[in-house]
Chains A and B, each alone.
Chain A
Amino acid sequence: GAVVSQHPSRVICKSGTSVKIECRSLDFQATTMFWYRQFPKQSLMLMATSNEGSKATYEQGVEKDKFLINHASLTLSTLTVTSAHPEDSSFYICSARMPGQGQPQHFGDGTRLSIL
């Protein structure tokens, strides 16, 4: 079964709206989670690393004021797309790694964000 839950699965909203996406690790604690963005027919692009209790680490070219990440608990990270515009429309995916040496990352089912 799924070990990472992502919500909502789809969002459609007007330009200028802020949208929050949740990523939860199920039955395990994740001190680190990751956020990706994927455009049609392209690969996943890592946006940021979400660290529990501290600031997120953003990849080069990703605006931290645009994509707010909060990792307030060991099982929940949120990504807020602030003042979203049509160019922010994309498929957003989170992942988390189960604790223990050599454990792989597990991904959520993604959130399809459409900005009108």
Chain B
Amino acid sequence: LAKTTQPISMDSYEGQEVNITCSHNNIATNDYITWYQQFPSQGPRFIIQGYKTKVTNEVASLFIPADRKSSTLSLPRVSLSDTAVYYCLVGDKGSSNTGKLIFGQGTTLQVKP
């Protein structure tokens, strides 16, 4: 399974755009890139998933360059409630490998007023 590397922590202010970059140099052809958000004492919550190029939903955008060795989660206009740990994961959704995910350290985002 591909290993991911993210910054351990980031600080931002309310209303700013936050970009969190994740490196996954050993990503395999079948791997998808998925981002989760976790608040204390809660399970991770799905944010966004992509395979290549750009994906956008109502809460975030995901940018994936052509070589897919990294990805960037973009959170527009963050608020205090976006303070959480953000995990980048890569995993195979299409093989008999069951699609298990291995979590890295994640990025602790602190949004300040």
- Stretch touching chain A among B11-19, B42-50, B63-71, B74-82: B42-50
- CB within 8 A of B93: which of A4, A44, A95, A102? A102
Decide if B106 touches A91 in the complex (CB within 8 Å): no
Decide if A46 touches B94 in the complex (CB within 8 Å): no
- Stretch touching chain B among A12-20, A81-89, A108-116: A108-116
Decide if B104 touches A43 in the complex (CB within 8 Å): yes
Decide if B99 touches A109 in the complex (CB within 8 Å): no
Instruction: Tell me the nearest residue of chain B to A32, going by C-beta.
Output: B98
Inter-chain CA distance A1–B103, complex, in Å, is: 24
Within 8 A of A (CB), among B3-27: none
Taking the closest CB of chain A, its distance from the CB of B92, in whole angstroms, is 11
Decide if B49 touches A104 in the complex (CB within 8 Å): yes
Inter-chain CA distance A39–B46, complex, in Å, is: 21
Decide if B42 touches A109 in the complex (CB within 8 Å): yes
Chain B positions within 8 Å of A110 at CB level: 41-43
Which range holds the interface residue count of chain A?
20 to 34
How many chain B residues touch A (CB < 8 A): the figure is 23
> What's the A-B contact tally at a CB cutoff of 8 Å?
62
Decide if B93 touches A103 in the complex (CB within 8 Å): yes
Instruction: Tell me the nearest residue of chain A to B101, going by C-beta.
Output: A105
Inter-chain CA distance A112–B34, complex, in Å, is: 25
What DSSP secondary structure best describes chain A's contact surface?
strand
Known: A109-B42, A109-B43. A102 touches B100 (CB 8 A): no
Taking the closest CB of chain A, its distance from the CB of B64, in whole angstroms, is 14
Decide if B103 touches A46 in the complex (CB within 8 Å): yes
Taking the closest CB of chain B, its distance from the CB of A22, in whole angstroms, is 14
Binding site for A on B (CB under 8 A): 32, 34, 36, 41-46, 49, 51, 87, 93-94, 98-106
Known: A44-B44, A102-B49. 11 other contacts (CB 8 A): A34-B101, A43-B87, A49-B100, A95-B101, A104-B93, A105-B34, A105-B46, A106-B46, A107-B36, A110-B41, A110-B43
15 contacts between A and B (CB under 8 A): A4-B43, A43-B103, A44-B103, A46-B101, A93-B43, A95-B43, A95-B44, A95-B101, A97-B93, A101-B93, A102-B93, A104-B46, A106-B46, A107-B44, A109-B43
